Amino acid sequence: MIDLDEQNHQPAKSGTTTHDRLMARRKMTLRLVAAFVVGVVLGGFGVSQLRDSRDQRERNAVVALVALPQSANLGGSFSEGSVQLPGQLMLINAGPAPITVRAVQAERPGVVVRNTGQLRLLPPGGTGQVLVELRFECSIAFQPEPLSLRLSVETDDKRVREVTYPVALAGSDWERDALGMCPRG
């Protein structure tokens, strides 16, 4: 039996459960949005750091050298039509990072240039001299085209790179000193 005269009717409790679920969803959505924003900020910072690191590595990998023959008037010898003498090569590091010159060499008919084995550290914008051994065949060595020097250098990132640089022998101290030792004929 149902008593319809009773005044104690209470509303169903289903409204508070729905409200609680809605609040929980909003909190979860806010947490996800906050996590996403934090992820974007951290990701952007990380990408920026990686880009800066990559740019720094690329700058350190750049090798820019200028090479100039210096006086070879340090003694020498003449034998069988060729002159052998020690010389100096002035190197200027025009790059943005320090480099270590490991080897210098050049070879073409009538000319051989080799360093004497010492390493040379050059800071950015710095200069230094490398001792080289020069051999010139008096009959064919001195031609107008530049001599292509090959330099082996170690960059700041510990990688060894080979670079070439043309050096004009015509009119250089090396030519003057070698011609002074070649017989006049």
Give 12-25 pLDDT, tens digit per residue. Answer: 555 567 878 888 88
pTM above 0.85? no
Sign of the torsion angle spanned by Cα atoms 21, 22, 23, 27 = positive
Quickly count: other Cβ atoms within 10 Å of residue 30's Cβ.
Answer: 10
At residue 11, the pLDDT reads 53
What does the pLDDT average to over 107-122?
90
What does the pLDDT average to over 153-157?
88
At residue 13, the pLDDT reads 53
- Name which of 84, 75, 89, 161 is nearest 120 in CA terms: 89
CA angle 12, 16, 22 (to 5 degrees): 140
Q: Which residue has the tokens 């010492």?
A: 118
CATH architecture of 62-181: Sandwich (2.60)
Residue pair 73/88 in contact (Cβ under 8 Å)? The answer is no
Give the C-alpha separation, 21 to 19, whole Å.
5
Give the C-alpha separation, 28 to 163, whole Å.
59
Give the C-alpha separation, 70 to 163, whole Å.
20
49: which DSSP letter? H
Q: Which residue has the higher pLDDT, 61 or 35?
A: 35
